[in-house]
């Protein structure tokens, strides 16, 4: 029987060749290839070849903008215009102990700003916000668009998984990137993040772009390039976007691991918690308040006077969770101790993250289960003096068989020296459109 389908306007093999030889793809070509891949006309192996060519040859700003627009066009767009308050979102590129979303969302909600936070799950050494919150009995990450909007209207904040209708082309392309070694490319990272954030329909976006050993892009220059590209994409789409470049060479706070990080976040929400977690929470809150038209509001008092804590409890309950329920506690613990006297020069965030992952706090593949009680308590910070035998880390897990692998990672995670190191600023730069 004769195939009566209309001919496709482009040939994907030709487009692969153009990009392989450092050529530019037109707006129409990019729009077609994303749509054709979504329809199944472009095969996964062909899209993989094109993605690899992009990793090697890069993309111009116009191409990145077109790729982002094509991924947005593959699905639905949300709107929060009927909330009666500005909707400002935040995105972090991820790190070790990066629990900032947990105190930040209720803090902003308590100050009259709506925060529609679409979050993800952990993979490898970086933790996922949804995994952390699922430590809370009853809490649900999967909400319909109607449920998400209802929670946001009632409480001022929502933290949930992105629905399947939001930039589905990006979801399909990311699955390919994850198994073909094509994740770490600025054009692809930027378009993946911003396609979902633009489609989400918020009024403003604050980006927390991390650098250092525990970051996805360790080099500061690479992080700056990614931040600049995403801010430009926001500006091109009319989404007001600001980025902070933040240090992820050492873990954020003391707690690493799902339930561990929830506990520490509740400390922050009740006026305590580690100084660096509080500092970054307030820095991002000030940027979000500025985008919301409230630059004069100081967010710090709301962490001390109970407003943010009350908002947290409302948000958790609205998503089915019990804020008073006990969090999981690990059955097995082990202490890593200093082998010599000295001053802590560095705590390697990646080594700590890998250790927590090996203990069961993270996953090697999407869909793997996580141990919500597993993780690491970081007991020292750069600049702390220690004596031989002093505790450096406490390892926690439910499976005793995992403990030796965690100890392997953390045995050399602390670097000691004779002198106190120079302190590093937590926020290294700010990029605006």
Which two structure tokens, joined as six digits, stand for 120? 């993800």
Residue 73: name the closest of 132, 32, 113 by CA: 32
Is 48 tagged catalytic?
no
Of the residues 110, 192, 265, 409, only one is catalytic, namely 192
Of the residues 171, 177, 224, 396, only one is catalytic, namely 177
Contact 214, 96 (CB under 8 A): yes
Is 125 tagged catalytic?
no
Print burial letters for 33-67: b (CB count within 10 Å at least 16), e (below 16).
bbbbbbeeebeeebbbbbbbbbbebebeeebbbbb
Which two structure tokens, joined as six digits, stand for 268? 């922050």
User: Helix, strand, coil % (nearest 5) of the chain?
Assistant: 45, 15, 40
Of the residues 170, 208, 276, 371, only one is catalytic, namely 170
Is 404 tagged catalytic?
no
C-alpha–C-alpha distance, residues 275 and 102, integer Å: 16
**What's phi and psi for 250, nearest 5 deg?**
-115, 155
Query: How far is the CA of 370 from the CAs of 119, 175, 332, in angstroms?
Result: 17, 20, 16
How crowded is the C-beta side of 427, counted as CA atoms within 13 Å? 16
Is 192 tagged catalytic?
yes
| CA triple 265-268-273, angle to 5 deg | 100
Is 210 tagged catalytic?
no
Q: What is the DSSP string of 179-206?
A: HHT----HHHHHHHHHHHHHHHT-SEEE
- Work out the end-to-end distance of the chain between its first and last CA atoms, rounded to an integer number of angstroms: 55
Of the residues 196, 197, 210, 254, only one is catalytic, namely 196
**What's phi and psi for 251, nearest 5 deg?**
-60, 150
Query: How far is the CA of 136 from the CAs of 121, 252, 255, 329, in angstroms?
Result: 15, 21, 16, 12
Of the residues 19, 65, 90, 91, only one is catalytic, namely 91
Catalytic residues: 91, 170, 177, 192, 196
């Amino acid at each position: 029987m004769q195939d009566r389908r209309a001919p496709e306007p482009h040939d994907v093999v030709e487009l692969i060749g153009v990009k392989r030889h450092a050529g530019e793809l037109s707006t129409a070509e990019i729009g077609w290839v994303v749509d054709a891949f979504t329809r199944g006309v472009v095969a996964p192996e062909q899209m993989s070849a094109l993605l690899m060519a992009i990793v090697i040859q890069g993309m111009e700003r116009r191409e990145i903008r077109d790729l982002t627009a094509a991924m947005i066009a593959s699905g639905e767009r949300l709107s929060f215009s009927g909330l009666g308050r500005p909707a400002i979102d935040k995105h972090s590129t991820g790190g070790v102990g990066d629990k900032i979303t947990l105190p930040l969302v209720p803090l902003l909600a308590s100050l009259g700003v709506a925060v529609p936070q679409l979050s993800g799950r952990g993979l490898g050494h970086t933790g996922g916000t949804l995994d952390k919150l699922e430590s809370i009995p009853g809490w649900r990450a999967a909400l319909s668009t109607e449920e998400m909007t209802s929670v946001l209207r009632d409480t001022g904040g929502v933290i949930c998984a992105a629905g399947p209708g939001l930039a589905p082309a990006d979801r399909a392309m990311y699955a390919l990137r994850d198994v073909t070694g094509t994740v770490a490319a600025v054009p692809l990272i930027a378009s993946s993040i911003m396609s979902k954030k633009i489609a989400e329909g918020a009024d403003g976006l604050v980006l927390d772009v991390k650098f250092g050993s525990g970051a996805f892009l360790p080099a500061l220059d690479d992080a700056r390039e990614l931040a600049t590209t995403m801010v430009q994409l926001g500006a091109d789409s009319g989404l007001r976007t600001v980025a902070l470049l933040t240090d992820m060479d050492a873990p954020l706070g003391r707690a690493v691991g799902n339930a561990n990080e929830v506990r520490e976040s509740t400390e922050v929400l009740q006026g305590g918690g580690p100084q660096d977690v509080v500092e970054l929470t307030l820095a991002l809150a000030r940027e979000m308040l500025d985008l919301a038209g409230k630059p004069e509001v100081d967010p710090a008092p709301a962490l001390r006077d109970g407003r943010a804590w009350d908002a947290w409890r409302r948000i958790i309950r609205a998503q089915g969770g019990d804020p008073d329920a006990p969090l999981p506690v690990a059955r097995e613990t082990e202490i890593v101790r200093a082998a010599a006297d000295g001053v802590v020069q560095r705590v390697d965030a990646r080594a700590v993250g890998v250790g927590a992952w090996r203990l069961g706090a993270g996953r090697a593949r999407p869909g793997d289960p996580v141990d919500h009680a597993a993780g690491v308590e970081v007991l020292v910070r750069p600049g702390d003096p220690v004596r031989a035998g002093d505790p450096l880390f406490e390892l926690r897990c439910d499976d005793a068989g995992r403990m030796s692998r965690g100890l392997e990672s953390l045995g050399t995670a602390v670097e000691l020296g004779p002198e106190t190191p120079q302190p590093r600023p937590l926020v290294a730069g700010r990029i605006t459109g």
